[in-house]
């Protein structure tokens, strides 16, 4: 694998418009926060202003289902007036089956619509979305959107035990609908997804062939494909699909006060336990426990199989805000191992190589030092 630059994703402001939704997705991560209320226009305006002060030029309108907010069109216009150059909505797409509503949204300044599509058929999508008829409305929304010149149309697919065997068919469907940008989202153990874990969970490593087929198909079609929250060992040999490490910051930011309380209180996280091994933050949370015990964290050493100084002096203290700790973790301690590490005599002592090194050099750069 040749060395490549890893550029950080463009800074985006996520703004929640509502705590209501017209779908009842089996895997909804947000279910515990959905009480049916819409956010006030004042609150949304402050969040939009805050994003501009943070230097964001892109805004992502989210929910619940953001398009059912009664002031949805006005909010898009407001975002534009405040200086956002790209206004994106993440949606189940049902409201956009009304072509006039979509036309007004685009006229107000909507730049991108990301449709959630979770099934290759009405039966599969509607089962996951929890609403009969959702699929046909979403597909009508997509067909309305792709006709609008200049509007970017993309898709999110939450990959889970119900639809993973149909993933190739879902992606093929997106292409037939003229969508060639999509993000595969890995299921994480929160909200309704955790309640329905028995139905929804699967082992991604058992489905490597399906993912490989989808990646090759997307490449042949010239599509833009991203992965989100997938366990990194799944992407051995597919390093170009590893998500940028900075995305961990968004995960931590969403629960900033919970993490800060955890660091200072000595108590357990509300979510710790059985679900941790399925969570994208598992390594980070283990590091926080070490930080609590020792009062600081050091940079991870470079593994023996790679050139470089084995130990670094850099450290972060337990008195820091969790966002500073997360930035340190991403820079200095976010590591991963290759399948070959199981054969290495350093395996027990070694934490693996930094994710960015693996993104640049590939997992194949981790060559066992002696054999067990």
Our finding on whether 305 is near ligand SF4 (CB under 6 A) is yes
**What angle in degrees, to the nearest 10, is found between the helix axes of 282-294 and 256-265?**
40
Q: Which of 292, 304, 315, 361 is close enough to bind ligand SF4 by CB under 6 A?
A: 304
Q: Which residues, 6+ apart, have CB-to-CB distance to 158 below 8 Å?
A: 25, 27, 116, 118, 128, 185, 187
Q: Which is nearer to ligand SF4, 82 or 342 (CB)?
A: 342
CA distance 337 to 357: 11
Our finding on whether 281 is near ligand SF4 (CB under 6 A) is yes
Our finding on whether 279 is near ligand SF4 (CB under 6 A) is yes
- The upper half-sphere exposure of residue 291, i.e. CA atoms within 13 Å in the direction of its Cβ, equals 30
3-state SS, residue 32: helix
CA distance 130 to 278: 24
Q: Which of 48, 75, 174, 350 is close enough to bind ligand SF4 by CB under 6 A?
A: 350
Binding residues for ligand SF4, how many (CB under 6 A)?
A: 23
Our finding on whether 346 is near ligand SF4 (CB under 6 A) is yes
Pick out residues in 107-166 that bind ligand SF4 (CB under 6 A): none
3-state SS, residue 75: helix
Which range, of 114-122, 172-180, 211-219, 280-288, touches ligand SF4 by CB under 6 A? 280-288
| Burial (Cβ within 10 Å: 0-12, 13-18, ≥19) of residue 331 | middle
Our finding on whether 276 is near ligand SF4 (CB under 6 A) is yes
Which range, of 6-14, 16-24, 191-199, 336-344, touches ligand SF4 by CB under 6 A? 336-344
Q: Which is nearer to ligand SF4, 281 or 316 (CB)?
A: 281
CA distance 37 to 20: 6
Our finding on whether 344 is near ligand SF4 (CB under 6 A) is yes
Our finding on whether 353 is near ligand SF4 (CB under 6 A) is yes
Contact indicator for 47, 81 with CB cutoff of 8 Å: no
Our finding on whether 356 is near ligand SF4 (CB under 6 A) is no
The footprint of ligand SF4 (CB under 6 A) covers: 269, 271-272, 275-276, 279, 281-282, 285, 303-305, 337, 341, 344, 346-347, 350, 352-353, 366, 368-369
């Amino acid at each position: 694998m040749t060395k490549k630059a890893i550029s950080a994703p463009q800074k985006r402001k996520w703004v929640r418009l509502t705590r209501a939704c017209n779908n009842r997705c089996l895997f909804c991560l947000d279910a515990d926060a959905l009480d049916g209320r819409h956010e006030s226009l004042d609150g949304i305006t402050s969040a939009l202003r805050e994003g501009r002060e943070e230097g964001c030029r892109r805004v992502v309108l989210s929910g619940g289902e953001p398009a059912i907010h009664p002031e949805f069109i006005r909010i898009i216009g407001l975002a534009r007036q405040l200086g956002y150059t790209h206004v994106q909505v993440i949606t189940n797409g049902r409201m956009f089956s009304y072509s006039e509503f979509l036309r007004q949204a685009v006229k107000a300044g909507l730049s991108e619509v990301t449709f959630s599509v979770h099934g290759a058929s009405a039966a599969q999508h509607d089962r996951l979305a929890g609403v009969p008829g959702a699929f046909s409305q979403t597909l009508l929304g997509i067909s309305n959107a792709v006709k609008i010149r200049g509007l970017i149309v993309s898709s999110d697919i939450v990959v889970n035990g119900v639809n993973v065997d149909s993933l190739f068919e879902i992606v093929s469907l997106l292409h037939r609908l003229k969508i060639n940008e999509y993000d595969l989202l890995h299921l994480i153990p929160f909200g309704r997804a955790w309640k329905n874990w028995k139905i929804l969970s699967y082992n991604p490593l058992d489905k490597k062939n399906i993912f490989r087929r989808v990646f090759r198909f997307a490449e042949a079609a010239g599509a833009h494909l991203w992965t989100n929250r997938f366990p990194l060992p799944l992407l051995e040999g597919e390093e170009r699909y590893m998500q940028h490490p900075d995305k961990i910051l968004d995960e931590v930011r969403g629960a900033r006060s919970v993490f800060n309380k955890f660091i200072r209180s000595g108590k357990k996280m509300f979510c710790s336990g059985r679900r941790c091994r399925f969570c994208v933050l598992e390594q980070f949370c283990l590091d926080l426990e070490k930080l609590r015990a020792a009062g600081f964290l050091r940079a991870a050493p470079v593994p023996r199989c790679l050139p470089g100084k084995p130990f670094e002096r850099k450290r972060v203290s337990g008195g820091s805000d969790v966002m500073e700790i997360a930035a340190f973790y991403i820079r200095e301690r976010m590591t991963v191992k290759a399948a070959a590490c199981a054969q290495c005599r350093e395996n027990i002592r070694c934490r693996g190589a930094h994710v960015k090194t693996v993104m640049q050099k590939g997992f194949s750069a981790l060559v066992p030092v002696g054999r067990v």
